[in-house]
């Protein structure tokens, strides 16, 4: 019995020590990944609610755009959670908070501002914080997320230009020309058409992309 207990204890220590060492060695990376995991999860919740509101207001194509963003954010959150797990750091479940949902015009404006803040400020700052620790998977997945957010920029800029007095004209143009959206399940890359060969961000197969449908 004592021998079995000793072997069990040795096995537990063998597994635990590298995880503790990983957390200590990559302490800043763990902090950043936890923050990103929470941010991306909350963004997923928010965009899902915005999509539902767009459907109610008869903006199905805008709803697809919000749904694509939601799926992209959920892929990022999953990747950050998996890296945290590999470092022995638990990513706590993020409960869905109360979400303020306005009309689609206001929701688009809020979404645009949030995405541009991530692209221009949040992700560059996070990468700078963990650069010295040089944890390869963390750097890879954070870069994937940042690059996929950059793909939104053209869409976001177009929407930003139309969320003022010209919103109705913009919305009409968007809805009259339905757009397909595809999201890579490996990195969150968001496109309006499938890549011809490989994902431009993670180099995965186009088969990794999922087409967005209204009402998902």
**What is the CATH number for 83?**
1.20.1260.10
pLDDT band at 90 (very low <50, low <70, confident <90, very high): confident
193 part of a folded domain: no
69 occurs within a structural domain: yes
pLDDT bucket at 17, cuts 50 / 70 / 90: very low
Q: Is residue 195 part of a domain?
A: no
- The whole domain housing 8 covers 2-178
Cα R_g (the chain), whole angstroms: 20
Does residue 194 fall inside a structural domain?
no
Q: Which of 145, 18, 170 is nearest to 78 (CA)?
A: 145
Percent of the chain whose pLDDT exceeds 90: 60
What separation in angstroms does the CA of 18 have from each of 23, 81, 131? 9, 18, 21
The total number of structural domains that make up the chain: 1
Could you give the CA distance from residue 190 to residue 172 in angstroms, rounded to a whole number? 23
Question: By CB neighbour count within 10 A (0-12 exposed, 13-18 middle, 19+ buried), where does 171 fall?
Answer: buried
Domain-embedded: residue 65: yes
User: Is the separation of the CB atoms in 63 and 19 below 8 Å?
Assistant: no
How much is the pLDDT for 165?
56
Domain membership flag for residue 206: no
CA distances to 29, 33, 83, 190 from 16, in Å: 19, 20, 16, 38
- Assigned token pair, 32: 């950043």
CA distances 48 to 38, 42, 74, 111, 179, Å, are 16, 10, 11, 12, 18
pTM, rounded to two decimals: 0.84
Inform me whether the pLDDT recorded for 9 exceeds 70.
no
Structural domain contains residue 108: yes
Average pLDDT over residues 57-65: 89
Pairing of strands 209-211, 182-184: antiparallel
Is there a domain that residue 159 lies in? Answer: yes
Q: Please state, rounded to an integer, the average pLDDT across all residues of the chain.
A: 84
Q: What average pLDDT does the segment 187-191 reach?
A: 95
Please state the separation of Cα 93 from the chain's center in Å: 16
Residue 12 pLDDT > 70:
no
> pLDDT value at position 79?
97
């Amino acid at each position: 019995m004592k021998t079995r207990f000793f072997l069990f204890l040795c096995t537990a220590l063998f597994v635990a020590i590298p995880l503790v060492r990983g957390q200590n060695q990559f302490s800043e990376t763990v902090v950043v990944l936890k923050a990103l995991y929470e941010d991306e999860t909350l963004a997923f919740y928010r965009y899902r609610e915005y999509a539902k509101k767009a459907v109610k207001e008869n903006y199905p194509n805008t709803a697809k755009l919000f749904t694509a963003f939601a799926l992209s954010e959920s892929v990022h959150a999953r990747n950050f959670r998996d890296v945290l797990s590999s470092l022995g750091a638990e990513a706590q479940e993020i409960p869905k908070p109360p979400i303020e949902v306005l009309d689609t015009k206001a929701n688009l404006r809020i979404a645009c501002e949030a995405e541009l803040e991530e692209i221009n400020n949040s992700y560059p700052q996070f990468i700078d914080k963990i650069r010295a620790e040089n944890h390869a998977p963390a750097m890879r997945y954070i870069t994937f997320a940042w690059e996929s957010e950059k793909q939104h920029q053209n869409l976001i800029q177009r929407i930003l230009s139309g969320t003022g007095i010209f919103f109705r004209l913009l919305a009409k143009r968007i809805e009259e020309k339905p757009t397909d959206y595809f999201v890579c399940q490996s990195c969150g890359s968001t496109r309006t058409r499938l890549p011809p060969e490989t994902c431009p961000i993670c180099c995965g197969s186009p088969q990794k992309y999922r087409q967005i449908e209204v009402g998902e």
